């Protein structure tokens, strides 16, 4: 990464942070079933990543803007790890296991869904 990447990263991360805060503050914790707001953000982030991978950008500035900037600030991997740690501290190992599996499986599903949607509509 060179110094020309700083601008796109700042712009992308600003929009990623704004969208993450908006979702965390405005979505209810119950959407048909109990789900953490950070899980919703992880699922959306995976969906966006699937779309970006399917679009296969060649332009380096766009890659840096979206991958490193936007998705780097939008996704909540550290929050996910913290949630697992809290469950571990509380010795809620079954919930820890299911939360881990839930996030990994659904994140992969949403990644593939984003990838599939782009391939379906563009080909």
Q: Find the DSSP H helices in the chain.
A: 6-26, 37-55, 60-63, 72-74, 77-89, 93-122
Predicted TM-score (pTM) of the model is 0.79
Domain hosting 86: range is 3-26+35-122
> Which helix (H) or strand (E) segment is 34 a member of?
strand 33-34
Domain count, the chain: 1
Q: What residue has token string 């942070």?
A: 17
pLDDT digits (tens, 9 = 90+) for 34-43: 556 778 888 8
Q: DSSP letter for 3, please.
A: G
Does residue 88 register a pLDDT over 90?
yes
Does residue 29 register a pLDDT over 70?
no
Closest to 110 (Cα-Cα) out of 59, 45, 36, 17: 45
User: Given this model, what pLDDT does residue 33 score?
Assistant: 47
> Of the segments 29-38, 52-61, 62-71, 88-97, which one has the largest average pLDDT value?
88-97
Task: Give the C-alpha separation, 30 to 4, whole Å.
Answer: 42
């Amino acid at each position: 990464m060179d110094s020309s990447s700083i601008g796109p990263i700042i712009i992308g991360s600003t929009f990623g942070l704004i969208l993450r805060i908006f979702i965390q503050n405005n979505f209810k914790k119950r959407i048909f079933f109990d789900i953490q707001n950070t899980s919703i953000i992880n699922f959306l982030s995976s969906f966006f990543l699937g779309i970006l991978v399917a679009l296969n950008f060649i332009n380096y500035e766009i890659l840096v803007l979206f991958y490193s900037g936007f998705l780097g600030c939008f996704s909540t991997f550290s929050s996910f790890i913290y949630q697992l740690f809290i469950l571990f501290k509380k010795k809620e190992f079954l919930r820890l296991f299911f939360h881990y599996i839930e996030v990994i499986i659904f994140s992969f599903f949403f990644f593939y869904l984003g990838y599939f949607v782009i391939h379906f509509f563009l080909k």
